[in-house]
Structure 1
Amino acid sequence: MKKTLVFLFVLALMLSLLGCTPQATPTSQPATLKVVALPILDTMPILVAQQQGLFSKYNLTVEFIPAGSAPERDQLVAAGQADGMLNEVLSALYFNKESARVQVVRYARAATKDAALFTLVANPNSGVKSVADLKGKSVGISEGTIIQYVTERLLMAEGVDPKEVKLTSVPKIDARLALVKSGELDAAVLPEPLASVAVKEGSIAIISDAAYPQYSFSTWTFRKEVLKNNPDAVKRFLLALEDAVALINADPAKAEWKQLLVDNKILPAPLAENFVVPPFVTAGVPTEEQFMDTLTWAKEKGFLQADQAYQDVITASFLPQK
């Protein structure tokens, strides 16, 4: 009898400990998710998760689809050819213009005072040395995207009316870089590390979102249909990303990470030696204040007409539980 009681006590203790495990590996059936993103630094956690077998750890297969521009990315999601995407709140708002079709489930990357997502660079022969010099100059952006939103917010914060600047839409990132290098554009707003490439090749860094980090962040977003029909797969996806972010942040200068970026044509090889991966944001979602500022801007620009509810566009319910 005593042995039986001891066994039951030990069993109960073990079950209790297992129940308190903060991050148990899901035992769900195998699942596959297709995600699409532009070839930018923000994708690094998904690349690390693939390389390190973190998706497999959670019984998940992730098919990564590179896109050349934001419109191309959005078309793939709209057509159901991708389950999720690396985008931003503005993109999610556009998707939900008529009905709630997608939801943001996590930050992907966020600007900090020490690490920029986007930098406005100028051709050295443009005469642009400061934000004030941008008046009357051509600045390459991607119209109606976070690039335009961040650019206008930075200009306004520095006392320049965006209407005084010739904002020119060039959706493809590599084309924007080429045009500012050739001088066909006076300046352009580029994501990192391409902005660093431009500076290394002679362009001048004028301002970045590191000066006003509250305006700049990217997100992971999924179709509502996927969230409804396969919520466990999305949760496992975010668990794997969290593991990847922890690995990256623990050793940002690791040569293996830099080589991964080079292999995926995100980081040019000449920059790799001195490049240090910026910190990646841990589990969280955009705040209601960030959401409302984006929505207000989109309505002021005429890209959206109606209000949308924060909870329809953003949810924290799929994040790993601490």
Structure 2
Amino acid sequence: MVSKRLSLALLLLIVVMAAAGCRTTAKEGRTEETLKLGLIPVEDNFPFFVAEEEGLFNKAGLKVELIPFNSARDRDLALQAGNIDGEVADIVAAALLRKGGTPVKIVSLTMGSTPAEGRFALVARPGTAVNRPEQLKGATLGISENTIIEYVADRLLMEAGVDPGSVQKVAVPQIPERLQLLLGGRLEAALLPDPFATLAEKKGGRVILDDTKLQRNLSQVVLIFREDAIKEKGAAIKKVLQLYGEAADMVSSHPEKYRELFVAKARIPEELKDTYLSPRFSPPRLPAEREVADVQDWMVAKKLLPAPYSYAELVDGTFVPAGGENK
């Protein structure tokens, strides 16, 4: 009888320990749940790499995997397939993903809270006689078609009083190729982001229009997530945004400290590695309604969207403070 009681007690103890082990494993599984972010190695994404380098994610008990992509197309395909939870993109990409059947939402700006962040410039080729926007009429202009690049080009021209339809747009999706065609004189002008715009200037190009000189930012960069990831990993997303803000402040306060990492992670051209500093980054905030609407109005006019999405359909306002129009 004693033996039976002892055996029963041992059996109960084993069951209890097994149950406790299952609970611990489940709890640990939740703690170690991976948040996968797709990033193109450019300066826009640099604070995420700083957060990784400084161990901010690990210190906060988060497992964040930064997955690099060489092109926006590959990044977007990975998001559509569910291979990543979110990505750093732009408002055009967010709307097109939603149109294509992948329910995503913008959770924050990562660059573009002020006009000075994320410089894009319309640069004329070296040796050109063009020095005013109106002289671009009839000129070849290198862009990436149906993207934020073309949106910025059109808006810059319109702000300068030039009809975007009066220039000859040439689709050159790859930025390095666009730069080389410009420097080689095969394009009269090109729309380039930094650091390529700065490099074009260094090699004799002439900046005709610069979006950092406007009253508001045109080329906003946003962090987007699949809606299922927002539902299942919302706490992790909120913490990542807090840590992103910390890393952004580190970079903005001490750019020289991170120069070596910046050159490596943002693929800074060799000619600029000793002089070009990372840009300043603002704390996370939401894009203003007008900013989201303006991009979508352009997309509707281009027949990229049948109708604009409402702000609530495209933006999740639960993670960071709302922001006014950037000025």
Q: Spell out, residue by residue over 1:253-306, the C-alpha distance to the aligned partner (whole angstroms, 9 max, x if none).
A: x2x312112122522243233333322121201110111111111101111002
Q: Spell out, residue by residue over 1:22-68, the C-alpha distance to the aligned partner (whole angstroms, 9 max, x if none).
A: xxxxxx71231222222221111011011111111222222223333
Alignment of 1:29-178 (within 5 A): 29-97=31-99, 101-110=103-112, 112-178=114-180
Unpaired stretches in structure 2, ≥5 consecutive residues: 1-29, 323-327
Amino acid at match of 1:88: D
Partners of 2:130 and 2:213 in 1: how far apart? 18
Amino acid at match of 1:250: S
**CA displacement at 1:251 relative to structure 2:** 2.0
Amino acid at match of 1:120: L
Per the alignment, do residues 181 and 40 of structure 1 end up closer, same or farther by CA in structure 2, a change over 3 Å counting? same
Partners of 2:320 and 2:208 in 1: how far apart? 36
* 2:111 and 2:118 in contact (8 A); partners too: no
What RMSD in Å do the two structures reach over aligned CA positions?
2.0
Partners of 1:168 and 1:229 in 2: how far apart? 43
**CA displacement at 1:127 relative to structure 2:** 3.2
SS at match of 1:214: coil
Tell me the percent identity. Answer: 35
Alignment partner, residue 218 of structure 1: 221
Q: Spell out, residue by residue over 1:99-146, the C-alpha distance to the aligned partner (whole angstroms, 9 max, x if none).
A: 561011111111745454211112113432221121111111111111
Amino acid at match of 1:76: A
Alignment partner, residue 293 of structure 2: 292
**CA displacement at 1:149 relative to structure 2:** 0.7
Tell which deviates more after alignment, 159-168 or 186-195.
186-195
Amino acid at match of 2:260: Q
TM-score for both structures, normalised by structure 1: 0.85
* 1:110 and 1:117 in contact (8 A); partners too: no
Per the alignment, do residues 188 and 96 of structure 1 end up closer, same or farther by CA in structure 2, a change over 3 Å counting? same
Unpaired stretches in structure 1, ≥5 consecutive residues: 1-27
Alignment partner, residue 18 of structure 2: none
SS at match of 2:243: helix
Alignment partner, residue 232 of structure 1: 235
SS at match of 2:38: strand
* 2:102 and 2:226 in contact (8 A); partners too: no
* 1:260 counterpart = 2:275: no
Partners of 1:258 and 1:297 in 2: how far apart? 37
Q: Spell out, residue by residue over 1:213-248, the C-alpha distance to the aligned partner (whole angstroms, 9 max, x if none).
A: 332211111111111111122112212201101211
Amino acid at match of 1:274: T
Alignment partner, residue 25 of structure 1: none
Alignment partner, residue 317 of structure 2: 316
Alignment partner, residue 3 of structure 2: none
Per the alignment, do residues 101 and 116 of structure 1 end up closer, same or farther by CA in structure 2, a change over 3 Å counting? closer
Tell which deviates more after alignment, 73-82 or 267-276.
267-276
* 1:242 and 1:282 in contact (8 A); partners too: yes
* 2:109 and 2:221 in contact (8 A); partners too: yes
Q: Spell out, residue by residue over 1:166-213, the C-alpha distance to the aligned partner (whole angstroms, 9 max, x if none).
A: 111211122211211222222111111121112112221221111223
TM-score for both structures, normalised by structure 2: 0.83
* 1:180 and 1:187 in contact (8 A); partners too: yes
Partners of 1:115 and 1:234 in 2: how far apart? 23
Partners of 1:115 and 1:318 in 2: how far apart? 22
SS at match of 1:36: strand
* 2:85 and 2:225 in contact (8 A); partners too: yes
In our comparison, the structure showing a higher alpha carbon Rg is 2
Partners of 1:262 and 1:131 in 2: how far apart? 33
